[in-house]
Structure 1
Amino acid sequence: MDSLVRIFTTLVRRYLPDPLVFAMLLTIIVFIMGATLTNTRSFEMISIWGNGFWNLLAFTMQMVMVVVTGHALASAPQIRKLLTTLASLTKTPAQGVALVTLIGAIACIINWGFGLIVGAMLAREVARKQPKSDYPLLIASAYIAFLTWHGGFSGSIPLLAATAGNPLEKTIGLIPISQTIFTPMNYFITGSLLIILPILTAKMLPKESDRKMINPELLEADNTVIQKKIDKNSSPALKIEESKVLSIIIALTGISYLIEYFYTKGFKIDINCVNIIFLVSGLLLHGSPMAYARAIANGTKSTAGILIQFPFYAGIQAMLDHSGLGAIITEWFIQIANVKTFPLWAFLSSAVINFAVPSGGGHWVVQGPFIMSAAQKIGADMGHAVMAIAYGEAWMNMAQPFWALPALAIAGLGARDIMGYCIISLLFSGFIFVAGLMFF
């Protein structure tokens, strides 16, 4: 296991560029393919790209809100206190690694932004309680837990497929989460990951002489997000800003809306619904409007990649759609796949595309048009096709550290410090994903 970790870590450090570079390279590749494989001329491809570059601004904002509301909830004082209590339960470094993986995986099922931050924060607490822990492995375990996210309640692709106004609604309609998240296939895959991943990460713990202990200075508590204390001499403006009353009123308004929403529409969850749930929860836990605003401000640091990359994905989608290249790729899939093997091919292609598009929402934009069109023509199960794209993206995140950046920022580490462990989890978890897609 140690040899595998060293080999994969070396490869990642040497050859893995930034995800933004991948997005730019994919833009060039799609442009060249569209100009050479279709009847669309080069200047027309440029026009298509430019006209489509800003098509996903609303969608980009939805993705940003997933990150910041999850981050804000994870940084609430009550959550931090709970993590400290959980870390105290560990007796050995191996138990700490397994705990970080398990809690992180459960939290990612609830909300992926929440899970990533909770996992990293719990890793820091465990490192405090177990000073002989391997700190890079603890942070890697928090990211490995991310494998469960697309089978959970904030999975971008299944939620987008169920959300009105998503980029594919006009071509394939809406696919409810009863056909994606709430299926025996997803229960098997997500449940298996919850059981196997904590065991796997605990087994990856290096011998004590090879562990990288954490610098105690990096484990100082982060008190950036706190509610300011006010006294009788404080200004009226400050009293309003730090008042819990206003937060409670807004939270009750949000809760009332959610009750009405579920009463009239049933258990129909989409991205907007998830974001409201987490916004209301975070607002209540932080107490005052400005405490929550400070938590949101901290969370926005993790959204830079989304903001700069999603316009490129929009341009790529426009070129695929309007040049006819997407239709050509669809035909390729139809020729090599059948009803039985289609989910596997969709899964593997999604994994490959994840190197260039490390985002579930981006996958739906770039890959969804030709995968779902091919599924329709072949007669494959549409829900399985949606989840095949989702699982492929989640799986290959272990080789693409884009979404590890928030956790790494909290930890004070770089992507190359954890990727050896992540690649091993990629190899083992692949068997679970393939088994679920082929046999359920």
Structure 2
Amino acid sequence: MKALTNVSTKLMQRFLPDPFLFVIILTFVVFILGLLLTPSNPIEMVSYWGGGFWDLLSFAMQMVLILVTGYVLASSPLFKSLLQRLALLAKTPGQAIVIVTLVALLASWINWGFGLVIGALFAKELAKIVKKVDYRLLIASAYSGFIVWHGGLAGSVPLTIATSGHFAEDMIGIISTNDTIFAPFNLFIVAALFVSVPILNRLMMDRNNVVEVDPKLLDDSVEKTAGELKSKEERTPAEKMENSVVLSMITGILGLCFIVYYLVNNGFDLNLNIVNFIFLFLGILFHMTPRNFLNSVTNAVKNAGGIIVQFPFYAGIMGMMVSSGLAVMFSEWFVSISTEVTFPLFAFISAGIVNFFVPSGGGQWAVQAPIMLSAGAELGVSSARTAMAVAWGDAWTNMIQPFWALPALAIAGLNARDIMGFCLWVLFLSGAVIGIGLLLF
């Protein structure tokens, strides 16, 4: 395993481009495939690309906020202390790899946005405490926990089809999460990943090939402003407000009141907006003063550049895939070679391929649902199993798709090529586990 991992990491370091160049290459690939495989002409493909370019704008802002608010919360004295205490559980590099994987898996199963941020932040705390741990593998292990998100409590496909008024309701009705998230086959897959992924990450650890963290990447200190350095008597009225504990407490408590109201009325339905809201107001509370909070925000925003620039390009790719018919074409081909037994597996694989170009769970489901649900019904496969096969396919290829790794990479201060050599083996393992789970039940 160590030898195989060394080969894959070297290949990724040598040939995998920066995530921005990666999305540019994907754009050209989809453009050419659209010309070769569909009736679309160059002008039409350009129009599909430009027309979809801003379709993920609100989602991109949500992702920026999940990064910024998660970073701000974790950099607060209280939360940082909690992460540090949890990190003390790891005494050796091997224990650090296993613990960060389990924490990331659990957090991602609860909510994918929460898992992405917490896993990376916890990995940084472990890197500060555990010596001679490979920082690349540590961050890769934190990101590997993301594999379970679509089989968890915040999975967009199972939650969508469990909600009244979803676009496929006329075809399949309302499907309870008892038949999707909490179905035996799904729980088997999740449990198997909770066991196998930490073991795999531990096996990839090579004590003779360790890349330790650059101490500069672990420095989260923030320079104090002139107002903070002055005594209370010397501060201007504006500086006193900026350093007021009372203002932060009032603002934070107001936010907490809404959070309680939301949970009472909606239960534990943690969508991306409410996660951002929770992170934001807990960050305000835990930083104690508006100035401390704003200093942390300034530090956090420096890491958001990749998300801001790259998400519109992925939206353009999604526009070409959907409008040209490429996404439908891939799905129909896999349906054509399926049987009742193999259909969930092929639905899973086709979703994984489409996800590589349309890395949006909700957007991908909108494209594939009409084809997959209809084909599944003809073959006698339940709609719940079909939906979860697509959901797991969407989660699967995230292991080698830099799109979702951007927040974790930004927090860690690494590049995609630093972790993708490890994530490649998580892709192989999880593909086998998920495929077996879909075939056995």
Alignment TM-score, normalising by the size of structure 2: 0.80
Please give the residue correspondences for 1:92-241 in structure 2 after superposition, counting only pairs within 5 Å.
92-155=92-155, 180-207=180-207, 209-214=208-213, 217-218=215-216, 221-224=219-222, 228=228, 231-241=232-242
Contact in 2 for aligned 1:93/1:132 (Cα 8 Å): yes
Deviations 1:67-118 (A, max 9, x none): 3333332322222112222232333332222222222333333444443444
1:87 maps to which residue? 87
Alpha-carbon distance in structure 1 between the residues aligned to 2:109 and 2:85: 21
Alpha-carbon distance in structure 2 between the residues aligned to 1:226 and 1:173: 57
Judged with a 3 Å threshold, the aligned counterparts in structure 2 of structure 1 residues 120 and 387 are, in CA distance, closer, same or farther, namely same
Greater Cα offset, 161-170 or 301-310: 161-170
Contact in 2 for aligned 1:150/1:157 (Cα 8 Å): yes
Please give the residue correspondences for 1:233-272 in structure 2 after superposition, counting only pairs within 5 Å.
233-265=234-266, 268-272=269-273
Deviations 1:7-63 (A, max 9, x none): 111221233233434433444444445455555544344334333322332233233
Alpha-carbon distance in structure 1 between the residues aligned to 2:22 and 2:412: 25
Contact in 1 for aligned 2:113/2:272 (Cα 8 Å): no
Alpha-carbon distance in structure 2 between the residues aligned to 1:165 and 1:308: 34
Contact in 1 for aligned 2:157/2:388 (Cα 8 Å): yes
One-letter amino acid matched to 1:243: S
**Superposition deviation, residue 259 in structure 1:** 4.1
Alpha-carbon distance in structure 2 between the residues aligned to 1:348 and 1:355: 11
In the alignment, structure 1 segments of 5+ residues that lack a partner are none
Equivalent residues, number: 434
Of residues 370, 374, 377, the one that matches 1:377 is 374
Judged with a 3 Å threshold, the aligned counterparts in structure 2 of structure 1 residues 320 and 170 are, in CA distance, closer, same or farther, namely farther
Contact in 2 for aligned 1:22/1:356 (Cα 8 Å): no
1:11 maps to which residue? 11
Greater Cα offset, 109-118 or 81-90: 109-118
One-letter amino acid matched to 1:337: S
Secondary structure of 2:235's counterpart equals coil
Alpha-carbon distance in structure 2 between the residues aligned to 1:174 and 1:310: 32
Judged with a 3 Å threshold, the aligned counterparts in structure 2 of structure 1 residues 243 and 194 are, in CA distance, closer, same or farther, namely farther
**Superposition deviation, residue 372 in structure 1:** 0.9
Contact in 2 for aligned 1:135/1:213 (Cα 8 Å): yes
**Superposition deviation, residue 373 in structure 1:** 1.4
Of all paired residues, the percent bearing the same amino acid is: 45
Deviations 1:284-308 (A, max 9, x none): 3233334333434433344433333
Deviations 1:376-399 (A, max 9, x none): 312254554444344334333333
Judged with a 3 Å threshold, the aligned counterparts in structure 2 of structure 1 residues 165 and 205 are, in CA distance, closer, same or farther, namely same
Please give the residue correspondences for 1:278-357 in structure 2 after superposition, counting only pairs within 5 Å.
278-338=279-339, 340-357=341-358
Secondary structure of 2:432's counterpart equals helix
Contact in 2 for aligned 1:67/1:114 (Cα 8 Å): no
Alignment TM-score, normalising by the size of structure 1: 0.81
Judged with a 3 Å threshold, the aligned counterparts in structure 2 of structure 1 residues 134 and 52 are, in CA distance, closer, same or farther, namely closer
Contact in 1 for aligned 2:23/2:313 (Cα 8 Å): yes
Alpha-carbon distance in structure 2 between the residues aligned to 1:251 and 1:129: 31
Alpha-carbon distance in structure 1 between the residues aligned to 2:248 and 2:173: 37
Contact in 2 for aligned 1:225/1:295 (Cα 8 Å): no
Secondary structure of 1:315's counterpart equals helix
What is the RMSD of the two structures over their aligned residues, measured on CA atoms?
Answer: 3.8
Alpha-carbon distance in structure 1 between the residues aligned to 2:165 and 2:285: 30
One-letter amino acid matched to 2:221: N
Alpha-carbon distance in structure 1 between the residues aligned to 2:409 and 2:325: 40
Alpha-carbon distance in structure 2 between the residues aligned to 1:333 and 1:132: 46
Secondary structure of 2:131's counterpart equals coil
**Superposition deviation, residue 3 in structure 1:** 1.0
One-letter amino acid matched to 2:222: T
Greater Cα offset, 160-169 or 92-101: 160-169
In the alignment, structure 2 segments of 5+ residues that lack a partner are none
Alpha-carbon distance in structure 1 between the residues aligned to 2:245 and 2:174: 39
Judged with a 3 Å threshold, the aligned counterparts in structure 2 of structure 1 residues 244 and 370 are, in CA distance, closer, same or farther, namely same
Alpha-carbon distance in structure 2 between the residues aligned to 1:275 and 1:150: 19
Contact in 2 for aligned 1:105/1:115 (Cα 8 Å): yes
Contact in 2 for aligned 1:180/1:387 (Cα 8 Å): yes
Please give the residue correspondences for 1:51-70 in structure 2 after superposition, counting only pairs within 5 Å.
51-70=51-70
Deviations 1:301-329 (A, max 9, x none): 44433333332333344444444555544
Deviations 1:326-367 (A, max 9, x none): 55444334323355433322322333345445x4x2x543x3
One-letter amino acid matched to 2:78: Q
Greater Cα offset, 92-101 or 115-124: 115-124
**Superposition deviation, residue 4 in structure 1:** 0.8
One-letter amino acid matched to 1:285: F
One-letter amino acid matched to 1:85: R
One-letter amino acid matched to 1:46: V
Judged with a 3 Å threshold, the aligned counterparts in structure 2 of structure 1 residues 17 and 249 are, in CA distance, closer, same or farther, namely same
Secondary structure of 1:206's counterpart equals coil
**Superposition deviation, residue 262 in structure 1:** 4.4
Alpha-carbon distance in structure 2 between the residues aligned to 1:317 and 1:188: 32
